[in-house]
Every structure is written in C-alpha cells, then in structure tokens.
Chains A and B, each alone.
Chain A
C-alpha cells in the first residue's frame, strides 16, 4: 500500500534562518506531489506542485521554493524565513490521474517562526 511520510512534525525556527521540509511517498511511482500551507484559522493554500522529477509549478510567489530530486521525494525550502512563513505545512500526493482518486495527505509540519 502507499504511504506518505512528512517530517519534522514540529519546528521552531528564528527569523532569517533556512528551512528544509521533506516529504516522501512509498508504494507508488510517478505521483503528483503537492505542498500546501494552512495559516492559523484559515484554509489551504497551494504553494507548489510537481508532476515529475525536476518539474515544479509555483502557485504563489513568496519566500519559499520546492524541489523534487527523486521521483518520490518533495522538498520545501527557504533561504531566510519570515514571521509570515509560520503555519501548518502539508504534503500530499495523488496518482497521475488524481482527479478521480483524490489526494492523500501527510501528517503535516507545524512551523513557528520566532
């Protein structure tokens, strides 16, 4: 069966520090991969999605970047964190034809920038 792993679960980082969040999927090939952010008390904001290695689409211009160095690995990064980067970050995957099957989400990373 397919599983998605996301880490770390929680992170407290000072303003101006770098960030690296990792997401891996097991049990499938060629998944679509997604990074979402959920600010406190708000809905989901799509940050990036990827349909293949090295292919990244950015939905919102911001202080973050994403990379997909391997088929089942998706990394969210920042060179210098801002206070506004605080939030709950969720990774998700779907089969290539995800419209029918839906997303499967990771358990999330709660990032607090201080």
Chain B
C-alpha cells in the first residue's frame, strides 16, 4: 500500500541553522512527492514537489530530492529564519487514483 513516514517533532532551531526534516514513503508504482507548509492558523500551502526519481524540488530556499533507491524525500534548508516556523507535511500522490497520503506533520520553531 501507500504511506508516508515523517520525522517526529517538534523541532526547535536557532536562526541560520541547517534544517533537515526526514520523509520516507512506501508506494506502488511511481508516485509524485510533495512538501506542504502550514503557518499558524492557516491552511496548507504547497512548498515544493517532485514527480520522478532524482528530481529536485525547490522553493524559498527549501529543497528536497526524490530518491527512489532509499524511498525518501527529505526536506532541507541551509539557513532557517524565524518566519519559517510552521508545520511541514510530506505527501505522496500515487500515479493512479485520486487520493493523497500525508505524513503526520513536523512542527518547526525557529528562535532568534
């Protein structure tokens, strides 16, 4: 079946620290992979995506590479800011069907 396993939080970092949030997946076929971000009190926004193996999604300084050999899609940012404080969700969309599969979310707090 399809599932997403995401790094447990919460994560607290100092400003300008390096961020990694781990995400691994189980899927049949060749899914598309996504990272969503949820700022406090808001809905989810698409942060980045990758649709095939070795693709790198990037946006706002965040990056994630679709690694088929390790079934992973880890989120990274070289230097976090206070404004990056949010909950981050990894998600998988199978290449057939209409449903997405979300991880449980990782809360990130960046302190000045």
Chain B residues 93-107 with CB under 8 Å of chain A are 93-100, 102-105
Chain B proximity mask over A88-105: 1 for CB below 8 Å, otherwise 0: 001010100011101111
In the complex, number of A-B residue pairs with CB atoms less than 8 Å apart? 59
Taken together as a complex, chains A and B put the C-alpha atoms of A17 and B87 apart, in Å, by 31
Contact (Cβ within 8 A) B43 A43: no
A36 CB to closest chain B CB, in angstroms? 8
A46 CB within 8 Å of chain B? yes
The answer, among A42, A99, A106, for a CB contact under 8 Å with B43, is A106
Interface size for B (C-beta < 8 A) is 26
Interface size class, chain A:
20 to 34
Chain B proximity mask over A32-47: 1 for CB below 8 Å, otherwise 0: 1000000000111010
Q: Is the interface of B mostly helix, strand, loop or mixed?
A: loop
B51 CB within 8 Å of chain A? yes
Binding site for B on A (CB under 8 A): 6, 32, 42-44, 46, 49, 51, 90, 92, 94, 98-100, 102-108, 110
A-B residue pairs, 10 tightest by C-beta? A43-B104, A99-B93, A105-B43, A105-B44, A108-B43, A107-B43, A44-B102, A43-B105, A102-B46, A32-B98
Binding site for A on B (CB under 8 A): 31-32, 34, 36, 41-46, 49, 51, 89, 91, 93-100, 102-105
